[in-house]
Amino acid sequence: MSGEQSEAEVKQQVSAFYNQIGWKMENDGFYQNARYEDLRPVSREYIHKCHLRVNRYLHPTGKFLLDAGSGPVQWPEYLTYSENYQYRVCLDISIVALEEARHRLGSKGLYVVSDVTNLPFKSDAFDGLVSLHTLHHIPPAEQPDAYSGFARVLKAERTGVVVNAWTSPMLMTRMGWLIKLMDRVNGIINRLKHRKEIMLPETKAKPAANKPTG
């Protein structure tokens, strides 16, 4: 099997996963794909701030914002990226993701089924660009093509943001040992809460021996 065929199969598998499983809404209001993210309450504020951090580096206004690998635009903070743009162009390999994105964006969104390594747009088409947690899904050999495509479609003097993972700030690095310790303690507490109680057999009290009277 050639390398090119192998890369094509990887993309087909990614598309199939997100169409059939990844963007399936669960009863708790989260997509199935969110199971791979840190949804603990202790992490909520940190993740929220990470999502909003993207806005610092985007050009604040424009006509077209490209969301390359948009998914369903599943987090409320993601919507802020295109607040001051006329249109948000959602590009994804999953038709299910784009259908979900349409529910959130409506007429503000434009929806394109395509591969991020082969962008079907003319050069200098976008005033801003975001691509969040997308490039690690494509074969490493094709990732440079994606970056080149991003640079090609982005207008001069405009900015784009590509996120592969949220880096660990210094505070989180220094406190990592404490976080791991607390996770272990919480695990022990949870196990103790759910352990089965041992029922001791009932015992009958022995009658007191009669004391000698004589």
Q: Residue 50 half-sphere exposure, CB side, CA atoms within 13 Å?
A: 17
CATH among 3.40.30.10, 3.40.50.150, 3.90.950.20, 3.90.550.10 for 3-163: 3.40.50.150
58-106 confidence digits (pLDDT tens): 999 999 999 999 999 988 999 999 999 999 999 998 888 899 899 999 9
As a whole number, mean pLDDT of residues 139-165 equals: 93
- Predicted confidence at residue 75, as pLDDT, reads 86
**Is 96 within 8 Å of 74 (Cβ atoms)?**
no
Pairing of strands 62-68, 109-113: unpaired
Q: Residue 21 half-sphere exposure, CB side, CA atoms within 13 Å?
A: 8
pLDDT at 6 over 80: no
- Predicted confidence at residue 1, as pLDDT, reads 44
As a whole number, mean pLDDT of residues 2-21 equals: 54
Higher pLDDT, 49 or 187: 49
Which one of 46-50, 72-76, 144-148, 195-199 scores highest in mean pLDDT? 144-148
How high is the mean pLDDT of the chain?
78
156-179 confidence digits (pLDDT tens): 999 999 998 755 555 556 656 666
Pairing of strands 85-92, 126-132: unpaired
Cα torsion 66, 109, 100, 53: sign: positive
As a whole number, mean pLDDT of residues 29-37 equals: 49
